[in-house]
Structure 1
């Protein structure tokens, strides 16, 4: 990464210079903050059985809370992430950190499923901090290493997702699901504010507050590369979300009969994503995004029948989990790097990209909950297969 002194890209006005840590330390702090905040979106998934028991319901009846979290994140991205092109990132990150922590604390004390869903929606909408930081990382990285720097943050993000499933499941089993949300509130507050303190402080030129949001349709219309990245990641993330948010229902159900803690340990396979991200970044820098995304889709297509077989054969479930995480993160590194470099407004383009991904994920996971209730695990695998086919087919037809 370049010098730690503040630069002034288009749309900014020179302000007082601010010191940031050494490049490696700065990137590490951003990756850790991304891990902690990204985990908030997935806290509910491994705790569905415990929540259902507490609320006197069934796991499938509260599975929609996991979808609400993803939908909230997509809404937050739509309104807050474009501000990265115009607002002071330091103040924005600090403010969103406080809102997220308060909403997580409210989740921990929610008296019922509806109140929990509302608090989770607010927490997820405010915890968009990683997507404010990724454009900054891409902006400061050398062009020949940009994908590798983006991949470092993505590795942190997926480590947080794994931690949410594994540590969340273990802590929920030991202390109750409410303590998991309370602990997440404390971690988010500490890491978010620490990151905000070291961000470059920039005075931006005044403009309409949601100018970036209003510009989204035009940015998508005039950038075929960005449009393609959005659609392909929506398909990939939707397939992953359908499978991963429903997996706890399969593992704790009659087929396997695992405890919440044991099912949470299954999330360790998600470490594949953290391990794949750095080499995926190197491959994107060397061979380009298109080839990496194509290979990722092929791998994801192989994982779907493996997941279906995993409904009865545990070893197939192991292989499928590794394959789908490797496919997801390789696709994400390639598509997000492409999105960040496709336009002159990276924060706005990144908003379009991540909103598309999470909207696809929220829709797929909601449909997967319905499919699991009516058609079992095979229905969930069917939803994942359809999402992959749509993500690739639509972009293959339109040039």
Structure 2
């Protein structure tokens, strides 16, 4: 890892804004693996409440469908955090920002563990999710430092870590929550967030500020960046549709698996269903190679085809477990392939990658949060078919945007 004085050197490697750190120090070698691991842990925080909804409802003497909105709170909080914090990657040094946000997220998780009602828990989840934007501060760093012919594969490595965290949140959260209670899960997540967040901040390279002007200049520049980049705008809307479909299904799945009208599983057994999400970690590096070879547009079209097949399988999975398992694999493969393609495009389509990445991820999570917010009432009124209908509607909206061609 270069020292602060590295900016005064005259070699091309150290003068280039996106150059890799000089040398082969332990910090340099650990950078990408540690970023992927930190991404996994911080991403898990967003979905921490979803597999624990039956336990939270029991603790607060409510019903799972009545507390399902907590999953939407987490996603809205993450979108808000992205809007305000992620653009700072172009304006401030990431090391300090990663450290501060990790501490804030951990403190909020501890407060959530100590909450005595859904209102206080929702506030803690909102703050924790807003501070859990570390992955999107680090993805632009990985993209700009990767060789051009392997950029999508490097981005895919971080995305694989992100989805591994989503799987861990469901599987480990369900198991630990069933054994020790949901509050222990929140405390454990806080401890991991602090350790890995501070470790990642330590190994990050020292950077020079690239954008001058007000601290939130990147946020102010968002409308202009979207207006002048049709490719970025399309990537945003495409991923909002895909992520909304996945989010409606995945955040509501615990209601089907653990509900009396569904499969009646325990929280631990329902959490193990998240192992099917490991398909995302397998598909991510493959998708990165396909994007580098065939281009983003073709990969996104293929991803939407997979997702379109998964929705009727999810509907059938309300009664047939085998269909539900197959659908879980397909929808994760579709989501991660689309995400790798669209995010690679977003990171390379403008001269302000952190700002462009903010627009992209905010759009995706806003679509996911809105779909999750509708999925809870849909489940309460129409059961699992209502959730599948919400997912199908989001795919139709996303595909309509995908089908629009350049003039």
1:383 aligned to which of 387, 390, 393: 390
Task: Give, in whole Å, the separation in 2 of the partners of 1:374 and 1:7.
Answer: 60
Residue range with higher mean Cα deviation, 121-130 or 203-212: 203-212
The structure-2 alpha-carbon separation of the partners of 1:4 and 1:327, relative to structure 1 and needing over 3 Å to count, comes to farther
CA distance in 2, matches of 1:156, 1:6: 28
Q: Which residue in the other structure is 2:64 paired with?
A: 59
Q: Deviations over 1:160-210 (max 9, x none)?
A: 000000000000000000000000000000000000001112231642011
Is 1:87 equivalent to 2:92 in the alignment? yes
Q: Tell me the equivalent position of 1:224.
A: 230
Q: 1:42 to 1:18 in 2, by over 3 A?
A: farther
RMSD after superposition: 1.9
Corresponding residue for residue 269 of structure 2? 262
> Which residue in the other structure is 1:167 paired with?
172
Structure 1 residues 210-249: Cα deviation after superposition (integer angstroms, max 9, x where no partner):
1101111110011011001000000000000000000000
* 1:49 CA drift (Å): 0.4
1:214 aligns with 2:194: no
Report how many residues are paired: 393
C-alpha distance in structure 2 between counterparts of 1:25 and 1:291, whole Å: 33
Distance 2:274 2:91 in 1: 37
2:7 alignment counterpart: none
Unaligned runs of 5+ in 2: 1-10
Compute the displacement of 1:394 (Å). 2.7
| Whole-angstrom distance in 2 between the partners of 1:273 and 1:244 | 13
Residue in 2 aligned with 1:183? 188
Q: Which runs of 5+ in 1 are unaligned?
A: none
The TM-score normalised by the length of structure 2 is 0.94
Q: Distance in 2 between matches of 1:156 and 1:312?
A: 32
Q: Which residue of 2 aligns with 1:50?
A: 55
Counterpart of 2:134 (choices 121, 129, 133) is 129
Deviates more, 1:21-30 or 1:353-362: 21-30
TM-score, scaled to structure 1: 0.95
SS at match of 1:204: coil
Deviations 1:360-393, CA, capped at 9 Å, x for gaps = 0000001000100001100000000000000111
Indicate the residue corresponding to 2:117 in structure 1: 112
Find the aligned partners of 2:138 and 2:404 in 1 and give their Cα distance: 33
Mapped to 2, the partners of 1:172 and 1:7 lie a distance apart of 49
